[in-house]
């Protein structure tokens, strides 16, 4: 396993690790005074399988939303990061439903912009994206 750490100014600290056929993009985020967090993650390529997230640490409850936009503004979570419960720890499987009962995986390719919205001011959280290269 190799671990790469990308310290960032602002709101996001990102860790890439790989092993067992998967790359894990782990993100610690901190919201600003308006409850938002926007930052670019390191470019990555591969199939996004799932996202796990932990309960936020300083919020007052409620929900927050997570989006992972590519360079063209397409949400690679396909909306499945919307309305996450602040107090929950859970796993979200990520796929695109192209038709009823027909799903396709989503391929990440290039820089990604993480946007957290609707959190409480200075709230913080953690999430990990599991990518199969």
Interface with other proteins by CB under 8 A: which residues?
23, 43-47, 70, 72-74, 96, 98-99, 101-110, 133
Q: Which is nearer to other proteins, 16 or 127 (CB)?
A: 16
By the 10 Å C-beta count (0-12 exposed, 13-18 middle, 19+ buried), 67 is classed as buried
Nearest distance from C-beta of residue 28 to other proteins, angstroms: 22
- Cα–Cα dist 130/25, whole Å: 7
Q: How many helices (H) and strands (E) does the chain have?
A: 0, 11
Nearer to other proteins, 106 or 124 (CB): 106
Nearer to other proteins, 9 or 61 (CB): 9
């Amino acid at each position: 396993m190799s671990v790469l750490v990308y310290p960032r100014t602002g709101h996001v600290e990102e860790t890439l690790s790989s092993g067992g056929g998967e790359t894990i993009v782990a993100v610690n985020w901190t919201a600003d005074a308006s409850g938002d967090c926007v930052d670019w993650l390191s470019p990555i390529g591969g199939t996004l399988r799932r996202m796990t997230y932990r309960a936020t640490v300083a919020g007052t409850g409620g929900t927050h939303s997570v989006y992972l936009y590519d360079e063209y503004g397409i949400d690679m979570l396909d909306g499945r990061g919307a309305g996450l419960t602040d107090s929950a720890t859970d796993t979200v499987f990520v796929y695109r439903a192209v038709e009823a009962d027909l799903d396709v995986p989503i391929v990440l390719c290039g820089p990604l912009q993480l946007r957290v919205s609707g959190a409480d001011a200075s709230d913080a959280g953690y999430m990990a994206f599991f990518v199969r290269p």
